[in-house]
Amino acid sequence: MDWLQSLILGLVQGLTEYLPVSSSGHLTIGANLFGLNGEENLAFSVAVHVATVLSTCVILWSEIVWLFRDLFKFQWNEGTKYVVNILVSMIPVAVVGFCFKDKIEEIFGSGMLIVGICLLITAALLAFSYWAKPRQRENISPLHAFIIGIAQAVAVLPGLSRSGSTIATGLLLGNKKEKLAQFSFLMVIPPILGEALLDTKDMLEVGVSSTMAGLPTTSLIVGFIAAFVSGCLACKWMINIVKKGKLIWFALYCVIVGLAAIIIPMI
């Protein structure tokens, strides 16, 4: 992987992690276009996922400080309730990650067809959430947090957008737009870090020198910086987009890219 490829893939990861168009699907498409192997993808994936977590922390720093401040008061306050909701939302993805990790990795290697189909499903979710007009609730309940967590767990499939699935599910449940985007981005921090740790474990088992063989240090740094900067921009932008309810345009984009992912390999 040269520095230009890592720059492009880093930008793609940072943007698509927050925009509802599936980062995993776009990285799979990019890896296929560039002819990258699984071991190169593994090392690069760890770097760019950590970069996107850092971008979330930067953009939502005040909210994270508020959560920790309230949590360490050891009282049942708003911050503690919020943390509990995040923990509840993590249960489904933890079950999927620990019990079905090998099967998920097999799906990731199954080609572009699954990516295209999942992108079309993402488009359908975004469209439904755009036209549905449920009664808006003031706060996200633990039950809704769990259901949104299920959406996040299902979104491990390549092409099924994590942010798109969680935000669309929350909107369909009737949660307020202003709070939903923030919750969606905060709830993903632990799973992304957990995924990075599992990938690091796989790297150690395979051998760091083996996974880094086709990935120069310069390319790794360029990809990390690109993912961090684009992640900061996309996170901030996406919060504003959700508030304005303009997700339908991303549904159209997912339809176009999804159909292309299905049709082009057949030509």
* pLDDT score of 156: 83
* pLDDT score of 213: 53
* pLDDT score of 178: 74
Cβ atoms within 10 Å, residue 122? 31
* pLDDT score of 37: 56
Give the DSSP letter of residue 266. G
* pLDDT score of 224: 92
Helix (H) or strand (E) holding 44: helix 38-59
Taking each helix axis from N to C end, the angle separating 3-18 and 217-244, rounded to the nearest 10 degrees, works out to 20
Helix (H) or strand (E) holding 238: helix 217-244
133: which 2 tokens?
A: 């007009």
